[in-house]
Structure 1
Amino acid sequence: MSDSMSIISLFWQSSIVVKIVMLILLAASIVSWVIIFQRGMSLRRDRREIEDFEDHFWSGVDLNELYRELPSAQPTGAAHVFRSGFREFNRLLPKARSNDAILDGMQRAMRVALSREETRLGRHLAILATISSSAVYVGLFGTVWGIMGTFQSLGSVQQVTLGVIAPSIAEALVATAMGLFAAIPAVIAYNRLVSRVDDLMARLENFAEEFHSILHRNLQGRTSEEAA
């Protein structure tokens, strides 16, 4: 009896539709765990890179030197925001007629960089959200389908006992259990990862504002010196 009620036995005894549902949920669970570990490690790495760059930025290093130190490949995080803003600042500085035009152009460049960072940081989280919201319903579909098949088969049985219907009901309920197994970790991890992305984006936005204030003060000082 225990062998017939094991998960593997229930899987093999279930209908083809329920088998497909279980395999889909198993694949969804594997995908969600891969995304959880991959995005978790990536966001920890992004946090360290932002902290390292901000420490270097606030150490008093010359901004032109810091810009030259950035790798030729596209940087990420705060380095990406800094590079986009400072490059646009230097491009507009000899051409723009007013400080406001320089600062506006720099802000636009940093907004684009922030938008790209938000997209990069939130990569694959939509898949995790889909799994967390749909896995339970997919499992419930498998359960309903299995129970329908059970009642259809009971129509030809003269005497119905618990021993007859218990294995069939258990087969159907395994699909719901697998749906919960896939959905619960996915929804917890999704909320946690989204919170971390929001924290990193808030930090990048604060850095962009501080960087804008620094260049604004530099322009004001430069204008005062020219006026004198």
Structure 2
Amino acid sequence: MQNIKIAIFIALCTLLPTLALAEVSKSAQENIRQYLYNQYATAYQNNDIAIQEITLQFPIDIESSHIIKYSLSKNATAKTQGTLIAQIAKNGSQISVPIAYKIEASIKVLRARATIYTNDDINAQNTSIETIALNQLKSAPISPNLLNSVSARSIISPNAIITADKIKDQILVRKGENIAVTLQSEGISIQTTLEALQNGVNGEIIKALNPATKKVLRVKITGIRTGEVV
């Protein structure tokens, strides 16, 4: 008899998520799914996210009219499943109800074709745009829109997804390159060419050599191989 009771209990536990979901109004389910959809769509708006399915699991009955607000933890969208907290008005008081959810979605990412070395530009030659399942991510991906506008912060392995922690502002001037610079002196603008002694990104101040005088000057980078003496 005891074994029969245990078997019945296990069977009921297995059915519980389905029963609980059936007892939640359709409008409440739609509202929660829409909230989750909006959160993930915003988080991955630059990666063309496509959400195929959102599944929910409720611990208690919920009517849409009783739901006050929803909330997710700060980094919830970094994962495809988690818990949404709903503030519910029930029996004259407010309670917090955890609602388990799972997202099935795909996004577009940049993947390294070969090894990308530190300071290399991220471009169409060393990356490809691919669509992957959201649950394959281990870190925040960069948007394919950043192609040709950022450089590698560290070495990126072949076939790796390009993530935000692996990039930095694009290097506009590289060590050893000639830079077209402008020098303002007493209201007069003088243009000359210097040799960069350092890599530089937009707005960064680097050292540059005047080949004629061998004098080292400080140059603020303003564009691709351009700057102004400061």
TM-score, normalization by structure 2: 0.24
Q: Which has the higher strand share?
A: 2
Kindly indicate whether structure 1 or structure 2 has the higher relative contact order, using CA contacts under 8 Å at least 6 residues apart: 1
TM-score, normalization by structure 1: 0.25
